[in-house]
Amino acid sequence: QLIFEPTLANYTALITGKLMTAAGTLDIAFMRNLWNSVFLSVTSVAVSLLLGVPAAYAFARHKFRGSEDIAFTLLSFKFAPALLVLLPLTLYFQKLGLANTYIGLIW
């Protein structure tokens, strides 16, 4: 025997965006937030693949003047601590007006 009575009310509230309580109606923005996360993750992966695959192919197949310097610069971001990279990027994005925008998040 269960201690509680199972209900689907919470799932219904998430999908519809409205939760009926004794105190009144509560608006829930779950679906909007879910769509926001899906949109940002899909576009970030798409942009990364569209830019990364041709660049990786070019660095792997073609040797040109400065290619090793560019590759070292790109790899140095991976070796640096995250705070060392993110703080200047945050200041740069704020100066460009990209802070708190979709473009800033995807880039």
Domain ranges of the chain: 41-106
Rounded to whole angstroms, how far apart are CA atoms 45 and 52? 10
What is the pLDDT, as a whole number, of residue 47? 95
What is the pLDDT, as a whole number, of residue 38? 96
The full DSSP string for 41-67 is HHHHHHHHHHHHHHHHHHHHH---TTH
Rounded to whole angstroms, how far apart are CA atoms 68 and 47? 23
Integer-rounded Cα Rg, in Å, for the chain is 23
Q: Write down the residue that tokens 């201690």 correspond to.
A: 3
Rounded to whole angstroms, how far apart are CA atoms 90 and 107? 12
pTM, two decimal places: 0.68
Rounded to whole angstroms, how far apart are CA atoms 106 and 50? 13
Going residue by residue through the chain, which has 107 residues, state the pLDDT in tens, using 9 for 90 and above. 778 787 888 888 888 888 888 888 888 888 889 999 999 999 999 999 999 999 889 888 988 888 889 888 888 888 888 888 888 888 999 999 999 898 888 87
